[in-house]
Structure 1
């Protein structure tokens, strides 16, 4: 069954200003406070679909994400998680910035297939309450002051 995970945050900044911070696929750990170090594999251009960012822990790659599409004019990019370490498949996420009365709204949305409620709970905790929520809160703090 296909599932959707969505988290949003509103920030008091212009969408282009927020995109300047989050739009570089290769610079994800620069703005997200709790991510592992990452590199773009094989010297690929991090702005080109097909680029893979690899997150490492103790010298070993623990997660790879592939850039599927990027549209700077729409302030959005979409990526997949390759071989996730939990029982889901087809995980794809979109990070995007939209105009809002308060400045900008950042949307982080993932879709995936899961065969059990346990897998859904793992994704909700790891990505929704972990990666997505933490990164979005850091953006709100960054632009609030």
Structure 2
């Protein structure tokens, strides 16, 4: 099993950030490479389309409004992984109510590719995504 984690300080309060990213269907609101998301299965699944028209289906595993995080697994995607579990989380920054730390992490089992290649893939996705979030908030 491999894993990666990326975090960024963003220019908004934790409450504001969570209002933007905390909905399981909210990726198109802040992530330009995911232009569409459709909830299924009573809101527990999301069907995403990426900018190239590929489909990614993810299942909500856990959600905590108070602690501002959710975790999800991949059900179907063009990625060379199995057993994928990811968490998106918003933290308060002690002493500064006007900024937050956002962490996007994942663990997964690479399938037919070196661990380092898949770690680099998801590190890039998380980094690009959090940079897009920072720009959306800035």
* Separation of aligned partners in 1, 2:66 and 2:120: 30
Determine if contact 1:114/1:120 at 8 Å carries over to the other structure.
no
The CA deviation at 1:4 is 1.1
Aligned residue for 2:114, secondary structure, equals helix
Structure 1 residue runs of 5 or longer lacking an equivalent are: none
Backbone CA RMSD of aligned residues: 2.3
TM-score, structure 1 length as denominator? 0.80
TM-score, structure 2 length as denominator? 0.84
Q: 1:61 to 1:141 in 2, by over 3 A?
A: closer
Structure 2 residue runs of 5 or longer lacking an equivalent are: none
Higher helix proportion: 1
Q: 1:137 to 1:56 in 2, by over 3 A?
A: closer
Alignment of 1:1-145 (within 5 A): 2-42=1-41, 44=42, 46=43, 51-56=44-49, 62-101=55-94, 103-114=99-110, 118=114, 120-125=116-121, 127-129=122-124, 131-144=125-138
